[in-house]
Amino acid sequence: MSSSGSNIVSLRNVGKTFESGTVALDGLSLDVSDGEFVSLLGPSGCGKSTALRLIAGLNTPSAGAVEWPGGRGKIGFVFQEPTLMPWADVAANVRLPLKLAHADPAKAQAAAMQALTQVGLADFAQSYPRELSGGMKMRTSIARALVTEPQLLLMDEPFAALDEITRFKLNNDLLTLWQSLRRTVIFVTHSVFESVYLSQRIVVMTPRPSRVFADIGIPAPYPRDERFRTSADFAGYCRTVSEALGKAMGGAS
């Protein structure tokens, strides 16, 4: 499945230096095309999360620019933690983005229920976050990111804190969602296996200074399932990506 669409977002020589003097990014350039599933892969502290926050507009770059060829559309963001409001039930958490946009409450509720159905949580709309398992909290968080029907979904190591069984399940569900909704996804992870399983393209980043080290395509066809996860192709891609990651880190020390 090729992504022949035009670019949805482009980073041009983006640099980010924090007030503390830490250089998080230095000359990062990246194009993401419409409908693509891209992973940013790198060790902790390589600035991948910073790149994601710059794209989301939560931070401003100190150098370079974030460009939106087709105009900046709606963005959904999934944090490393579920980041739910504990005082609000699941439906209210998912409705939040629409509520902040002053949407009609009935329509917001309908959209929230639809998003919850997409992540398989329709029966838990009235539950409170504390009553949910880690995986279900993350699903709620994804439903909230989807509720505004964003063109671009940014995910910052969303499954890093989950156990492997739950992570595999969520990986599969995320792929199914991506195939049915055809949104662009930029997925930050430090797991080689997760990035290979999910992505069409993996961008390997170097730590300090952070920039793109390698851009590796994963041409395996979708839908991908457990058979792909145990295939020789999968192992081969993982080896290629692992070697690139090793060189990226070696080059930094």
To the nearest whole angstrom, how small is the minimum distance from the Cβ of residue 120 to another protein? 22
Q: How far apart are CA 69 and CA 206, in angstroms?
A: 27
Q: Which residues bind another protein (CB under 8 A)?
A: 53, 56-58, 75, 77, 79, 81, 83, 85-88, 96-97, 99-101, 128-130, 148
Structural tokens at position 191: 């797991």
Residues linked to residue 149 through DSSP beta bridges, in sequence order: none
Q: Residues 167, 134: contact at Cβ < 8 Å?
A: no
Q: How far apart are CA 50 and CA 71, in angstroms?
A: 21
Q: End-to-end distance of the chain based on CA atoms, in angstroms?
A: 37
For another protein, the closer of residues 56 and 249 by Cβ is 56
Question: Which residues contact residue 244 at a Cβ distance below 8 angstroms, ignoring those fewer than 6 apart?
Answer: 204, 213, 214, 216
Between 76 and 197, name the residue whose CB sits nearer to another protein.
76
List alpha helices for the chain, DSSP H.
48-56, 90-100, 105-118, 134-146, 164-181, 192-198, 226-229, 232-250
- Least distance (Å) between residue 135 CB and another protein: 18
Q: CB nearer to another protein: give 100 or 165.
A: 100
Q: Which is nearer to another protein, 99 or 239 (CB)?
A: 99
Q: With respect to another protein, which residue has the nearer C-beta, 52 or 192?
A: 52
Checking phi first, is residue 237 left (phi over 0); if not, alpha (psi -120 to 50) or beta? Answer: alpha
Looking at the Cβ atoms of 55 and 116, the one nearer to another protein is 55
Task: Dig out the tokens for 119 from the structure.
Answer: 């992540």
Least separation in angstroms between CB 7 and another protein:
21
Q: How far is the CB of 161 from another protein (least distance, A)?
A: 13
Beta carbon of residue 102, minimum distance to another protein (angstroms, whole number): 9
Min dist. Cβ of residue 199 to another protein (A): 23
